[in-house]
Structure 1
Amino acid sequence: MFVRPPGGGTRPPRHARRRKGSAMSGLRRHPKPVKLRGLRDATKRGVAAADLRELLEKGCALFRIPLKGSRVCTYDDGTEVTDEYFETLPGNTTLVLLSGDEAWSGFVCDIARLLCADAHSHRLVEAAKDLMCGERSPRRRKVLGDLLLHLEDSSEAEEREEDEGWFHGVDARFKTKSAYMKYSCENRIRNYMKEVVSFGKSIAKATVRAEFMKTTTGLAALLKSNKYHGCYFDRTDEGTERLCTREGWFTCQRSTRTCAAPSTPSTPTAAERAGSSSARGTWTTEKKRTVIPALLEAVRDHRSDGVNLKYFYQLLFTRENLKLVHIVCHDKAPHRLTCDGRKFSKASAPRNKCSVSIGRKRLRVK
């Protein structure tokens, strides 16, 4: 029996009511599963929400942060999620929940935290090495290699007990890296001086040999007064002569147009200990070929007391001629170094200067 409903009109048939009810239920949004994490809490937690508002409410309750001012952004690039954007996101997208002034610029934020995580660096090193073993992509291997370079770098450590691996094979009397590097530089400069003396002893003519050896005595005195320029490799030196940064990093001094060294500065500190020549000066082979023979010519022409020691000292032992280059940039071919014959004698030196400046000391040259 058909009954007219109150207020007039007719009540729709039951099958029509079913169709209407099914249409209304079709408009309801199904909860979307996402992976939610916090700014400082990297733990990902599964949350299902039908819209952005529900996601924020559940996320704030889960991470215990205020709902007011909260927002979410994508983990990959830091794009802030709006109501419309949330509808387009695929399921299980990783999102970051933020509050207040917190910011997220993408996964690079995690990389920055990895590089600064000193407390867990050993775990990161092991994880990177494991990834490196199974990685075939050259690009990814390079990225992992660069990451390992930064994680394993202990150049800032100074004391022996802080970095025992660096001191492997180093005499026990050296307690700090700076002390050993200073000694290493001094020893190298001493060897350069020995080459000059050895050349002098091989001169056949006795009178010329005697004058040349007087000149080497003057050069040796200047070197001793300047402590054999050990400050070049001493990162703790307060002067301006050192070739490394405070952290102990050296850079290739070859022209940027021809330099083939890696873009990351190299540290010859460890290479020096191992006997490598990555800190070799480009002028080391030129002493015998050019500078020392020129010094002999000056002695023959002006005798020992007339030779311009400052000029030859700078060519042989100072940064005036010393260029620190990476091993891959070291050119073993003959260099085009020439000596200026006009500067061989004291008479050619400026008359208004009675002393010469070598390093941080001034010495009178007779």
Structure 2
Amino acid sequence: MGSNSSTQKHMKIFKIRTLKGDGKYGIGCRNLNELLEKGCKKFKLPLNSARVCLYDDGTELSDEYLRNLPDNTELVLLAAEQTWEGFVTDIDRFLNAFYSRQTDVTEAARKLLSDEQAPQRRKILVDFIQNLNENISAENREDDNLWFEGLEPRYKNKSSYMRSSCESRIRSYMKEVQSSATTIDPAVRDEYKKLAETMCDELRAVKYNGCYFDRTEEKTGRLCTAEGWFSCQGPFDMDECGSKHSINPYSNRESRILFSTWNLDHRIEKKRTVLPRLTEALTERNGRQINWKYFFNLLFTLENLKLVHIACHKKTSHHLACDDSMIYVKRKPARRIKR
């Protein structure tokens, strides 16, 4: 009985359609393979090379991404060689709401979406349409109860929850730092624990950098606009996001949940590079003082963290190294005493 209950708990329902026809159907599944099998059977499509993507913007789904999607998310089932880049046709509805001469304006919009800048423009229009009628400006629970559905009563406004969400991510990084002590050479373990505790004290002092997700913070302290819009900063090896991913988790419950799939990615990798280099530095220090603030910044601040959409989160090795010149505290030259 317990096993069956657990299975049902992980069943999720999605609305799925194909490129042919406007009909969409609810399909329950536990993983991506099951969704593909049921979808292909329903629409009589070959399972080989079939793919599923978001109806909103064409993001192709992985198992991990699927698990984080809310129920009733709209998806598109694609056969081999088919592509879907988002609901461009919904621009018609948006334009119709604001212009009487819809035909002329729609044609102008289609031209904007047909040149080499189309992907960037499309993404911006899609995000705007998706959030057009949402209660973005509402901040308090009583003004947007749907946004708070499923959240603890202690969260009285959106910014407090978003701040807590960011704090939780940073806390998890700190726990990884602390738990690594068990794998370190006993000769330097105590020193490592002292450094970890020093960094933990610093995190407490800056309130775990929760300001990054809080739209009420000063501009220099947050990653979003004053309205709550976040933009993907692109993969670790790029200066920007080529797909122009953006999201406003303050707009609706679905966007809030989807934002949890975005990553605060370490450019110089935490597990593969930063923590091993810290351990090496302790072993090789020869009386030198570790520059713990340098490692703190790599682990917990925007000096090394990038906010990225799940599609821009590359899980391959980054092959980026720590700056050896910053690992130890530089000693100040002794001053000569004048006589």
Normalising by structure 1, report the TM-score: 0.52
The corresponding residue for 2:158 is 177
Mean Cα displacement is larger for which, 222-231 or 276-285? 276-285
Amino acid at match of 2:143: E
How far apart, in 2, do the equivalents of 1:253 and 1:301 lie? Answer: 35
The corresponding residue for 1:99 is none
How far apart, in 1, do the equivalents of 2:207 and 2:146 lie? Answer: 29
**Aligned length in residues:** 215
SS of equivalent to 1:166: helix
The corresponding residue for 2:296 is 313
- Displacement of 1:201 in angstroms is 2.3
How far apart, in 2, do the equivalents of 1:183 and 1:304 lie? Answer: 39
- Displacement of 1:209 in angstroms is 0.9
The corresponding residue for 1:228 is 208
Q: 1:171 to 1:285 in 2, by over 3 A?
A: farther
How far apart, in 2, do the equivalents of 1:344 and 1:172 lie? Answer: 44
Q: Does the alignment pair 1:216 with 2:199?
A: no
Q: Does the alignment pair 1:340 with 2:317?
A: no
How far apart, in 1, do the equivalents of 2:288 and 2:255 lie? Answer: 38
- Displacement of 1:170 in angstroms is 1.0
How far apart, in 1, do the equivalents of 2:161 and 2:322 lie? Answer: 33
SS of equivalent to 2:306: coil
SS of equivalent to 2:264: coil
Gap regions ≥5 residues in structure 2: 1-93, 101-121, 335-339
Q: 1:325 aligns with which of 295, 302, 308?
A: 308
Normalising by structure 2, report the TM-score: 0.56
How far apart, in 2, do the equivalents of 1:142 and 1:308 lie? Answer: 42
How far apart, in 2, do the equivalents of 1:196 and 1:206 lie? Answer: 16
Write the deviation string for residues 225-269 of structure 1: whole angstroms up to 9, x where unpaired. Answer: 11111111111012512001110110111146652244xx31245
Q: 1:240 aligns with which of 220, 238, 244?
A: 220
SS of equivalent to 2:317: coil
The corresponding residue for 1:75 is none
How far apart, in 1, do the equivalents of 2:125 and 2:228 lie? Answer: 23
SS of equivalent to 2:220: coil
Write the deviation string for residues 55-98 of structure 1: whole angstroms up to 9, x where unpaired. Answer: xxxxxxxxxxxxxxxxxxxxxxxxxxxxxxxxxxxxxxxxxxxx
Q: How does 1:79-94 map to 2 (within 5 A)?
A: none
Give percent identity, aligned residues only: 44
Amino acid at match of 1:247: E
Q: How does 1:350-361 map to 2 (within 5 A)?
A: none
How far apart, in 2, do the equivalents of 1:191 and 1:197 lie? Answer: 10
8 Å contact from structure 1 (residues 261, 329) kept in 2: no
How far apart, in 2, do the equivalents of 1:340 and 1:183 lie? Answer: 31
Return the structure number with greater relative CO, CA threshold 8 A, min gap 6.
Answer: 2
SS of equivalent to 1:333: coil
- Displacement of 1:167 in angstroms is 1.0
Q: Does the alignment pair 1:164 with 2:145?
A: yes
Q: How does 1:1-366 map to 2 (within 5 A)?
A: 111-112=97-98, 148-203=129-184, 205-238=185-218, 240-254=220-234, 255=238, 259-262=242-245, 265-269=246-250, 270=253, 273-274=256-257, 277-283=260-266, 286-302=269-285, 306-347=289-330
How far apart, in 2, do the equivalents of 1:178 and 1:304 lie? Answer: 45
8 Å contact from structure 2 (residues 177, 275) kept in 1: yes
Larger CA Rg, structure 1 vs 2: 1
Q: 1:304 to 1:148 in 2, by over 3 A?
A: farther
Amino acid at match of 1:322: L
How far apart, in 1, do the equivalents of 2:256 and 2:280 lie? Answer: 37
How far apart, in 1, do the equivalents of 2:196 and 2:287 lie? Answer: 9
